[in-house]
Structure 1
Amino acid sequence: MTIVRLGYVAMSVHLENASPSQTMTYKQFSQLKDREAGLRKLERIAVSNLHNCLRLLKHNLAHDIKFFRFSSKLIPLANHPELKDWKFMRAMKEPLQEIGDFIKEHPQRVGFHPDHFVLLNTNNKDTLKNTLQTLKIHEALLRGMDVDPKHRCVLHVGGAYEDKEKALEQFIHNWGLTPVSLQELIILENDDTVFTLHDTLYLCEKLGIPMVFDYHHHLAHHEKSWEEDWERVVGTWADSPLPVKMHISSPRSEKDFKAHAEYIDPGMFLDFLNGIKDSADQVDCMIEAKKKDDALFRLVEDLREKKELRWIDHASFEI
């Protein structure tokens, strides 16, 4: 038997006024006459985002959801080059601790998936510097919650830069320039355009990084069937304190296959589940769908009557 836990990304369509991604652009900030007042306003926005994260975690608890991805936009302009002197973590200490206390009392798996501009295989020194700084911010947020940062941050391999093999080797080179604490933060995901399951496994096995298998990405871009490499994917998690993690989404349409649909195709998901049962003690499945938590709720409804599943609670089951 394999335990499967369902999770969703960043925000709820059921909670009102609970966005964790409220923001201010640098243009808006630069138009403020009082810079210090502008920084305090940024801090108020960030604190509000964190308070909404706590609301989301409480919402999750009410529905037995123990797997959640935080927004990577919690602190607007946190990595902006013109705000290097801003010590924003001081203002975040109390709300981060509140989140951490809640997670300790009601254990849930949480993590991040930074935006596409975080590129660890770049050959541009400034881009790499910005990438490492962004990862440090994610690590600091997790430490502020007193959550072990290890294997909490999903990255794509990066760009091909017109030579995929060279880009893979650039990742390995830059990995050597990455502080060990940030290396431990990272897990890698296959993408739907450049780096396949096989490419990503190459890096994960060579560098000792757990792999997040994205089923939809694989269907959109692959060289061979995923089943023959699944055991290797599971093996990359052997030394992690966390269970195997994967992403599930469904194509918006055959014509627009790579785009995410609003909900999850239950038949597509069941095909995957039947391929992984008994392969690991637990697999955490992150739902990447436009309808967020509502997609999770609908998927549970769709799967509720499937005889091969034994439900543990409202968001996890055994297969």
Structure 2
Amino acid sequence: MFELKGIKVGFFCSTADGKITTNRKFRLSNLSYERLMYTVEKNLKDFERLLEISLSLGCGIFRLGSDLVPFASHPSFKKDWLKEVEGKLREFSKTLRKFPIRITMHPGQFVVLNSPKKEVVDASLRELEYHFWVLETLGVGAEGVVVVHAGGVYEDKRESLKRLKNTLRENQWLYRYLAVENDERHYTVRDLLDAELDLPIVFDYYHNRLNPSEFEVSEILQTWSGRVPEFHLSSEPEGKHRFGEHGDWIKVEDLMDFLNHFGGNRIDLILEAKQKEKAVEKLLSELYIYLDVKP
């Protein structure tokens, strides 16, 4: 397994070409028991293939796609269906135990726990309940993480953070797996530290470059209370791109800069590059050349 100064790496959700994926889904209008079961089985089969690819690359972490069970938090999803899906996930947990790979999840931007709209918060909580259920059913223990952003600012950052803290306080179960990530626009690492959310902070290297703040490495590590942190690394794309867009590859210089700050600490690092497993392989090859060592 690849490890450099305590850092283990991994990729997320699917292969670069999307042909092997844990995010296979369909249109909501086509939601049915038969379509659901077929899709879950395909996602689980590909999940195993992605774990095999991860293991062959020496990865120690993998981000599972949020659509493993499509529309599970949607009102149209029938609760009875979960019983059979649960059986499939519990059966797969036996396979999962064969792989020394940490499993985490990262729901989309529509999960907003500090929204001033109750219906948005309620929908976000349902989505997080689903994510937690997936990890628990798969037998993922304390190493499991569900990463979210702090949410919007809504013209008042202080009040928005208060709403987030209130949501956490009213839903203590969130502390089981939830972690919060600094983002590229609104909430810096410093904002999250000062908010005292009692959540682990997922440090995102690229977001911190776009939306920087001052902090000590130890401050972030302490939020994990002895657990191994999950951090994220991506690089700016070449050429014209949207603000915050991730590049196809990881620049070895960015990895080395990350290691200069966090090296020597035990960290699991998701490489958020569009080329996914290919980006892992390319980065490690370039790293061996950069360090002048043999694989």
TM score, norm. by length of structure 1: 0.84
Residues 1:300 and 2:284 aligned together: yes
Match runs of 1:11-26 below 5 Å: 11-13=14-16, 17-26=19-28
Contact 2:112 2:124 in 1 (8 A): yes
Consecutive unaligned residues in structure 1, runs of 5 or more = 30-37, 315-319
- Cα deviation digits, residues 217-257 of structure 1 (max 9, x gap): 00011244xxx4211001111243xx122100001147535
Match runs of 1:264-275 below 5 Å: 264-275=250-261
Query: Which of the residues 231, 237, 245 maps onto 1:259?
Result: 245
Give me the CA root mean square deviation.
Answer: 2.2
Alignment coverage as a number of residue pairs: 291
Contact 1:150 1:186 in 2 (8 A): no
Quote the residue 2:99 is aligned against.
106
- Cα deviation digits, residues 73-128 of structure 1 (max 9, x gap): 11112122233x33332222343234322332222111100011111111211111
- Cα deviation digits, residues 185-208 of structure 1 (max 9, x gap): 1011000010011112223xx232
- Cα deviation digits, residues 148-169 of structure 1 (max 9, x gap): 2665100100111111111111
Contact 1:47 1:91 in 2 (8 A): no
Match runs of 1:66-215 below 5 Å: 66-83=60-77, 85-148=78-141, 151-178=144-171, 180-203=172-195, 206-215=196-205
Quote the residue 1:250 is aligned against.
235
Give the residue type in structure 1 aligned to 2:165.
I
Contact 1:122 1:158 in 2 (8 A): yes
Give the residue type in structure 2 aligned to 1:234.
L
Write the distance in 2 (CA, Å) between the matches of 1:26 and 1:103.
29
Quote the residue 2:210 is aligned against.
220
Contact 2:57 2:280 in 1 (8 A): no
Write the distance in 2 (CA, Å) between the matches of 1:208 and 1:271.
28
Query: Which of the residues 36, 40, 54 maps onto 1:42?
Result: 36
Contact 1:211 1:236 in 2 (8 A): yes
Residue 170 of structure 2 aligns to a residue in which SS? coil
Write the distance in 1 (CA, Å) between the matches of 2:11 and 2:212.
25
Q: CA deviation at 1:259?
A: 1.0
Change in Cα spacing, 1:3 to 1:272, as seen in structure 2 (3 Å) is same
Write the distance in 1 (CA, Å) between the matches of 2:169 and 2:237.
39
Query: Which of the residues 8, 11, 32 maps onto 2:11?
Result: 8
Contact 1:122 1:170 in 2 (8 A): yes
Residue 165 of structure 2 aligns to a residue in which SS? helix
Contact 1:51 1:95 in 2 (8 A): no
Write the distance in 1 (CA, Å) between the matches of 2:180 and 2:187.
11
Contact 2:135 2:144 in 1 (8 A): no
Give the residue type in structure 2 aligned to 1:63.
L
Query: Which moves more between the two structures, 40-49 or 110-119?
Result: 40-49
Residues 1:288 and 2:272 aligned together: yes
Contact 1:78 1:88 in 2 (8 A): no
Contact 2:14 2:50 in 1 (8 A): yes
Write the distance in 2 (CA, Å) between the matches of 1:277 and 1:74.
33
State the identity as a percent.
26
Looking at both structures, which has the greater relative contact order when contacts are Cα pairs under 8 Å and sequence separation is at least 6? 1
- Cα deviation digits, residues 49-82 of structure 1 (max 9, x gap): 1221112112222222221000001111212223
Consecutive unaligned residues in structure 2, runs of 5 or more = none
Write the distance in 2 (CA, Å) between the matches of 1:20 and 1:151.
17
